[in-house]
Amino acid sequence: MTYRPPVREHLFLLREVLEIETLSNLPGFAEAPMDVVEQILDEAARFCAEVLAPLNTVGDKHGCVRGSDGSVTTPPGFKEAYRQLVEGGWPALGAEPAYGGQGLPSVVNLAFSEMSSAANMAFAMYPGLTHGAYSAILAGGSDAQKALYLPRLASGEWGGTMNLTEPQCGTDLGLIRTKAVPAGDGTYLISGQKIWISSGEHDLTENIVHLVLARIEGAPEGTRGISLFIVPKFIPDAEGKPGRRNAVSCAGLEEKMGIHGNATCVISHEESVGWLVGEENRGLALMFVMMNEARIGVGLQGLAQGEAAYQAAAAFAKERLQMRALTGPKNPTGPADPIIVHPDVRRMLMDARAVLEGGRALIFWTALHGDLAQRHPDEAVRRKGEDYMALLTPVVKAFLTEKGFVIASDALQVHGGSGFTEHFPASQYLRDSRITLIYEGTNGVQALDLVGRKLAQNGGRAVMTFAAEVDAFVEANRVDAALKPFVEGLAAVKAQLQDGTMWLMQNGLANPDNAGAASMDYLRLFGLTGLAYMWALMAKAANGRIAAGDGDPFYAAKLVVGRYFIERVLPDAGAHLARIKTGAGPVMALAAEAF
């Protein structure tokens, strides 16, 4: 069973739900009419299905190998696939035209990202991290730094990494100890050890550009004393070619549960030469520019692993013959019925579909607001775009990664015993997907970001705007009989979210532990509300096509899956609200020593 990129779903979202053609007056969108987008996505699908997907198992089984000289060899086939990736211009899809990119809306680039992550997550992380480095330099680099690095990162000719974590600090970057000492010539000498550096060292590119957080000698303690540096593996010479080897190296590879095809490195800086990006002691802010974008990407990875796992499970369920349907044989001439006839198997597949299709819409819708924030001429639209991006980034990251993992686990369950063996892809999807709940800020950190920062920002403007938008949709569509269950479901869950929001406002300030204890349930309730809104938008679009006489069964199926979401996924909202309202009491009552 090969992964089939869901291009039809992408086109439905872009064309009929988000209607990106109405934005053709905006930069980037002008260059991407739907027929061009469709060609791009078809070509992307071919590349991901035919080149990347077949290497997914290879990467898992072989992993990366570190030589005694610190070099890292990627799994067989990765190098050639990477060459094709660069040649196809895929890394440049969403980069700025000024640096050789194609400048397409990020919402279009997202479709490619989903496909490549689903086909081969460990592989896709190499260009993924490169894009992170690109974004950080774009956000804070000098003109010279931009001119030197951005074209090479945009094309994928050079790789990039983010050097954040150290043994004593993951979430708590204020504890960073890596030191930067001015060398006197404008550069810095960086010393320290970084761990869990994805794509930290490899044989795919002729150079690797490390973005490194470090503390300049004498800088203030904590997060206010951290600066960001560019540390290239090979220091570019006057012509911008990789020159002298820098004192940055891979001291070891991490043994991990999954994503074996990605080199997760211990990176050692022994007076490596670094160039400051932006101002001294302002490194964290720059890092968060990159991080927010990366968090949407991680939500997408979770979704992508769920999609690939779902597809494998659906294919297995249609082939595996075992027992008869409860309502009588459906394959009477065979020895047994395909297990997809069993309602509990169907339940797991439908759970997956309902969340994947709604979740994909939420990511795309959020990313479109990111595009609007950057490209729209109207300040109010830009501001709303920024608000939504800020508000929904933690929701997309945490809700969709944990759902992706549950879907991968259910997909494994559909396989029965076969799922637990490594002869089927189910185990790898489960193992690979698990990291998405952790990196780029654990899901708990996302939940705290949502309730502790994003809700309150600008006097709660973002969440109030979102609530008003949902209310307006509900009002405008109440009379639409075909949309009734969607509008009612949305109105109900939005009321629950509002109830939870009010509770947080009233109780979170009085005792911040109330906010902390409620945070994950609040985020999940937000996720359900977001998906309910997306399902209402999708159902409206599907209804429109059906009313217009479009007989494509895609639209009828969309409504069936949407109804499933409303009837069988949304009921979780009540439990989340009930838990929010327990407050910190039961959560914090047991003394730490009693654990």
CB atoms within 10 A of CB 511: 14
Q: Extract the tokens encoding 23.
A: 């934005």
Binding residue (CB under 8 A) for its own copies from 7, 62, 512, 545:
512
**Binding piece for its own copies, criterion CB under 8 A, among 166-174, 296-304, 359-367, 471-479:** 166-174
For position 434 contacting its own copies by CB under 8 A, the verdict is yes
Nearer to its own copies, 246 or 301 (CB): 301
CB of 427 to its own copies, least distance (A): 4
Distance CA 277, CA 281 (A): 10
Q: Is 438 in the site for its own copies (CB under 8 A)?
A: yes
Residue 493 parent element (H or E): helix 484-508
Nearest approach in angstroms of CB 76 to its own copies is 18
DSSP H or E run through 34: helix 34-47
Question: Would you count residue 336 as binding its own copies (CB under 8 A)?
Answer: yes
Report residue 562 as tokens.
């949407």
- 350 in contact with its own copies (CB under 8 A): yes
Residue 248 CB, nearest distance to its own copies (Å)? Answer: 21
Write b or e for each residue in 286-310: b if 16 or more Cβ atoms lie within 10 A of its Cβ, otherwise e. bbbbbbbbbbbbbbbbbbbbbbbbb
Please report, for residues 161, 175, 214, 287, 545, the alpha-carbon distance to residue 166 in angstroms, rounded to integers and kept in the order given: 14, 9, 10, 15, 53
Q: Of the candidates 566, 554, 395, which has an alpha carbon nearest to the alpha carbon of residue 11?
A: 554
Output 380 or 594, the one with its CB closest to its own copies. Answer: 594
For its own copies, the binding residue among 211, 314, 362, 504 (CB under 8 A) is 314
Q: Are 322 and 335 contacting, i.e. CB atoms less than 8 angstroms apart?
A: no
Note whether 299 and 400 are within 8 A (CB). Answer: yes
Residues numbered 513 to 552 that lie near its own copies (CB under 8 A) are: 513, 515-517, 519-520
| Eight-state DSSP code of residue 435 | G
CA distance 70 to 65: 10
The span from the CA of 504 to the CA of 338, in Å, is: 48
CB of 287 to its own copies, least distance (A): 16
Q: Whole-number minimum distance, CB 336 to its own copies, in Å?
A: 5
Which candidate in 201, 271, 440, 488 is catalytic? 440
Residues 571-590 that bind its own copies (CB under 8 A): 571-572, 574-575, 578-579, 582, 584, 586-590
Q: Is 495 in the site for its own copies (CB under 8 A)?
A: no
Using rule CB under 8 A, residue 567 touches its own copies: yes
Among 92, 129, 448, 532, binds its own copies (CB under 8 A): 448
The values of phi and psi at residue 355, to 5°, are -80, -40
Number of residues that bind its own copies (CB under 8 A): 92
Nearest approach, Cβ of 322 to its own copies (angstroms)? 4
Q: Which is nearer to its own copies, 479 or 590 (CB)?
A: 590
Of 116 and 311, which CB lies nearer to its own copies in the complex structure? Answer: 311
- Nearest 5°: phi and psi at 244? -65, 140
For residues 173-212, which are near its own copies according to CB under 8 A? 175, 196
Closest approach, Cβ 48 to its own copies, in A, equals 21
Q: How many other C-beta atoms are found inside a 10 Å radius of the C-beta of residue 593?
A: 5
Q: Map the footprint of its own copies across residues 136-165, applying CB under 8 A.
A: 165
Structure tokens at 373: 């924030």
Identify residues 219-258 at the interface with its own copies (CB under 8 A).
254-258
Q: Cβ distance 291 to 136 under 8 Å?
A: no
Among 345, 367, 539, 541, binds its own copies (CB under 8 A): 345
CA distance 225 to 21: 45
Cβ at position 316, least distance to its own copies in Å: 11
Closest CA to 277 of 269, 268, 260, 289: 289
Q: What is the DSSP letter of 129?
A: H
Q: Which of 412, 450, 474, 490 binds its own copies (CB under 8 A)?
A: 412
Q: Residue type for 129, please?
A: L
Q: Does 484 bind its own copies (CB under 8 A)?
A: no
d(CA 130, CA 96): 14
Whose Cβ is closer to its own copies: residue 467's or residue 587's? 587
**Closest-CA residue to 425 (of 7, 76, 60):** 60
Give the pair of three-digit tokens for residue 257.
């549960």
Q: What are residue 551's phi and psi, to 5 degrees?
A: -95, 5
If the CB atoms of residues 423 and 478 are measured against its own copies, the closer one turns out to be 423
Contacting its own copies (CB under 8 A), which of 244, 245, 423, 453?
A: 423
Q: Within 10 A of 595 (CB to CB), how many other CB atoms are there?
A: 5
Does residue 335 touch its own copies according to CB under 8 A? yes
Query: Which H/E stretch holds residue 245?
Result: strand 242-245
Stretch that binds its own copies, among 292-300, 315-323, 464-472, 530-538 (CB under 8 A): 315-323
**Which span sits near its own copies by CB under 8 A: 108-116, 200-208, 360-368, 567-575?**
567-575
Is 357 catalytic? The answer is no
Residue 283: both structure tokens together: 């490194």
d(CA 406, CA 403): 5
Of the listed pieces 72-80, 112-120, 199-207, 340-348, which binds its own copies according to CB under 8 A?
Answer: 340-348
- Stretch of residues binding its own copies (CB under 8 A), selected from 150-158, 441-449, 456-464, 486-494: 441-449
Per CB under 8 A, the segment of 120-128, 359-367, 382-390, 447-455 that binds its own copies is: 447-455
Q: Which is nearer to its own copies, 344 or 379 (CB)?
A: 344
Residue 185 neighbours by CB distance under 10 Å: 7
C-beta of 102 vs 409, nearer to its own copies: 409
Q: Can you tell me which of 186, 417, 459, 551 binds its own copies, judged by CB under 8 A?
A: 417
Rounded to a whole number of angstroms, the minimum distance from the CB of residue 173 to its own copies is 10
Closest distance to its own copies from the beta carbon of 236 (Å)? 31
Q: Which amino acid is at 353?
A: R
Give me the sign of the Cα torsion angle 536, 538, 544, 548: negative
Specify the length of the chain in residues.
Answer: 595
Q: Does 595 bind its own copies (CB under 8 A)?
A: yes
The residue from 282, 346, 382, 461 that contacts its own copies (CB under 8 A) is: 346
Min dist CB 296 to its own copies, Å, is 20
Enumerate the active-site residues.
Answer: 440
